Structure formats: C-alpha cells, structure tokens
Structure 1
C-alpha cells in the first residue's frame, strides 16, 4: 500500500500567524489560523480535516459492509462533528459524532443499523481515533 502524505506550513506566532495545509497530491489545500482553529474565523483547521477523513473513511467502509451483505447502496452521506475542547491535559479531540444517511433499496432498518455499527468499528480511521476519543453514530436509512 502507498504511504499517504500531507504537509503544513506556519508563518508567524501562534495568535497572529497563519498557515496552509495541503494533502500530498494537492487534492485539498486550505488556509488556517488561530482564529479558524480556536474561534470562528475563516479558513480550515486540523480538526475539520480529521472530520473529513473520518467521514470519508466511514462512508467507504459502510458501502463495503453493505455490498458484502448483498445490498447495493445508492448513496451513503456522512458528516463528522469533531469536538475540540480544553481538558485538564490541554486541548483535545474528545468526541466525534458521525451522522450518516444511506439510500439502500431493499434493506430493512435492523440490518442497516447492524451494518452501520460494524462499519464504525472496522473503519481504519475509527480504529485510529477511538482509543482517545468517543465516537458516536447516528445512522438513518433514507426511504
């Protein structure tokens, strides 16, 4: 398997400086700053990128689990809400709430929920993050 890369460049001090985050092949690039990370300023931040990675990984893992169970999803759409909070140990990602909606013709609700939970447990990004952050899942089967 290939090794994936990303890079960051920061210029200036913590509160007045700014930077750029970039994925290895240039598919994603964004500016970030103290305000975009700790306040509500323009730009992205590392936590949003973690959320995007988690949502993307989960959506793919769920699609695979559905296919392995004989169900063909029309779509799987996932949002990850990353909670970045100050704790006694410093700032930490404490929880990630995954919210997914799947269009899966012919699949019943119980099987949908079971496969969604299995995908959460087996998604490589969930496995990476779960020792340090709580991961919740709300899955809805679209009609």
Structure 2
C-alpha cells in the first residue's frame, strides 16, 4: 500500500469520525508525535584533492526538523593556521589546535543545500578524513 493511499484512508476515517462527532454534538482530537530527524550529507566533488589553496568539497545537504534548531559540526584532523571552511562562500575559521569546527549553529529547523569548500594554506599530504554530523538542540523524539 502506498504512502498516499494510507494517508487518504486516514484522512477519510478522520473526516467520517469528525462528521459523526459533530452530529452527536461531540468533538474529536488527534495528536501525533513526529520523530526528530537531523542529517547532513555531502555529495562529494569528483576529485576532492586537498592541495594548497581552495578545494571544492562538494554539495552539502542539511535537514533538521528540531523546533529549537541544530548544530552542523565537522570533525577533522588538525590543520595549519589559516585554514578555513567556506559554506556558500562564507568563511568559517578552523582553530589550529582543534579538530572540530561548527559550520552552522541554528535556532530553527531547516532544509538547505549549500556548497562546501576548504581553504588550506599548505597541502595535506596524508589522507584527510573528516566526519560531518548534525545534532538537534532541545528535546529529541
């Protein structure tokens, strides 16, 4: 059964119950709880080589339905002084002694698609792993 058919059946049941309740002078109440969902995904550039200068990382897709907002965090290896992330052209500094950078600190839910790049003052010779994650603020259902 498709999602559309299930939603149609639920709606028809609610409308029927609502009409019957009105005819009898009563009321009906429906409550629902939606699961909190926060995700971040990068559609990587064809060849994300981390050379000196600007490196295109890829398209970032972020989604979080937390009413109180979310943080989008990237955990990475330590980088040299002067390195920074670019999120839709806006620079976000990387602290030299830190392996975590907060890219977004939002106070509301959002669905966005943005471009992510990384500027390096010197190339990274070894493998450069990084982990991107979104964490909801407030209550999680």
For the aligned pair, the TM-score class normalised by the smaller chain equals under 0.3
Pair member with larger Rg: 2
Task: Name the structure where strand makes up a greater proportion of residues.
Answer: 2
Larger relative contact order, structure 1 or 2 (CA cutoff 8 Å, min sep 6):
2
Q: TM-score, normalised by structure 1?
A: 0.26
Larger helix proportion, structure 1 or 2? 1
